[in-house]
Amino acid sequence: MTFPDDRDPTLPGVADPYPLYHLLRREDPVHWSSFANAWMLTRHADATAYLQDRRFSRVAFLDAMRTKFGDNQPILKFQSEELAFLDGEKHMRLKNLVGKAFSPQRIAAIRPWIRAAVDARLDELAPSHRMDVIRDFAYPLPANVISQLLGVPEADRAKLRAWVDGIVLSRGLVRTSEMMEEGDRSAAAFEKYLRELLAKRRSNPSDDLMSAMIAAEEQGASLSEDQIVSMTETLFAAGHATTRSLIGLGLIALLRHPDELARLRSNPDLIADAVEEMLRYDPPTQAPSPQVAMEDVEIGGKLIRKGQMVSVLIGAANRDPARFPDPDRFDIGRRDHDHLSFSQGPHYCLGASLARAEAQIAILALVERFPRLRIVERAMRYQIAGRFRGFESLPVEF
Ligand code: HEM
**Quick one: pLDDT band at residue 58, thresholds 50, 70, 90?**
very high
> pLDDT band at residue 21, thresholds of 50, 70 and 90?
very high
Q: What are phi and psi of 214, to 5 degrees?
A: -60, -40
pLDDT at position 161 over 80: yes
pLDDT at 2 over 70: no
Residue 200: inside a domain: yes
Whether 86 maps to a domain, the answer reads yes
Tell me what pLDDT residue 5 has: 41
CA–chain centroid gap for 94, Å, is: 19
Query: Does residue 242 have its Cβ closer than 6 Å to ligand 1?
Result: yes
Cα distance between the two ends of the chain: 45
Which residue's C-alpha comes closest to atom 29 of ligand 1? 351
* Interval between CA 200 and ligand 1 midpoint (Å): 28
Question: Given the CA of residue 289, which atom of ligand 1 is nearest to it?
Answer: 16
Tally of domains in the chain: 1
Distance 286 CA to ligand 1 centre (A): 12
Choose between 245 and 392: higher pLDDT.
245
Which atom of ligand 1 lies closest to the CA of 234? 35
| Ligand 1 contacts CB of residue 355 (under 6 A) | yes
One-letter amino acid at 362 equals A
pLDDT-based confidence at residue 217 (cuts at 50, 70, 90): low
283-297 confidence digits (pLDDT tens): 999 899 999 999 999
Residue 230 in this model has a pLDDT that exceeds 60: yes
> What is the model's pLDDT at position 336?
94
The stretch 101-121 carries a mean pLDDT of 92
Ligand 1 site, residue 95, Cβ cutoff 6 A = yes
- Residue 277 sits in which domain range? 18-397
Share of the chain above pLDDT 90, in %: 58
pLDDT for the residue numbered 11? 47
Q: Which of 51, 209, 242 to mutate to test the pocket of ligand 1 (most atoms within 8 A of CB)?
A: 242
In a domain, 323, yes or no: yes
Which candidate, 211, 232, 246, places its Cα nearest to that of 141?
Answer: 246
Where does the pLDDT of residue 226 fall: very low under 50, low under 70, confident under 90, or very high at 90 and above?
Answer: confident
Establish if 183 belongs to a structural domain. Answer: yes
* Residue 56 is assigned to a structural domain of this protein: yes
- pLDDT-wise least confident of 11-20, 106-115, 352-361: 11-20
Average pLDDT of the residues of the chain = 89
Decide if 2 is inside a domain: no
Task: Band the pLDDT of 170: cuts 50, 70, 90.
Answer: low
Give the closest residue (by CA) to ligand 1 atom 27: 239
Distance in angstroms (rounded) separating the CA atoms of residues 121 and 141: 9
Banded model confidence at residue 82, pLDDT cuts 50, 70, 90: confident
* pLDDT of 169 over the 90 cut: no
> Could you tell me if the CB of 230 is within 6 A of ligand 1?
no
Ligand 1 atom at shortest distance from the alpha carbon of 149: 30
* Residue at 5 is within a domain: no
pLDDT of residue 1: 38
Mean pLDDT of 155-174: 78
Ligand 1 proximity of 343 Cβ (cutoff 6 Å): yes
pTM of the model: 0.91
- pLDDT of 4 > 60? The answer is no
Residue 7 reports pLDDT greater than 50: no
* C-beta 147 within 6 A of ligand 1: no
Distance from residue 296's CA to the centre of ligand 1 (Å)? 28
Q: Is residue 194 part of a domain?
A: yes
Question: Best of 349, 358, 388 to mutate for ligand 1, by most ligand atoms within 8 A of CB?
Answer: 349
Share of the chain above pLDDT 70, in %: 93
> What is the Å distance from ligand 1's center to 89 Cα?
19
Q: Which of 331, 310, 241 is nearest to 42 (CA)?
A: 310
Rounded CA separation 371/314 (Å) = 32
CA distance 139 to 370: 19
Identify the residue whose C-alpha is closest to ligand 1 atom 14: 288
Q: What is the pLDDT of residue 386?
A: 64
Check pocket membership of 101 for ligand 1, CB cut-off 6 A.
no
- 161 class by beta-carbon count within 10 Å (0-12 exposed, 13-18 middle, 19+ buried): middle
Distance 129 CA to ligand 1 centre (A): 33
Give the distance (Å) from ligand 1 centre to CA of residue 347: 8
Which of 257-261, 355-359, 392-396 comes out lowest in average pLDDT? 392-396
Q: What is the pLDDT of residues 324-352, one digit of tens each?
A: 999 999 999 999 999 999 999 999 999 99
Domain CATH number, residue 284: 1.10.630.10
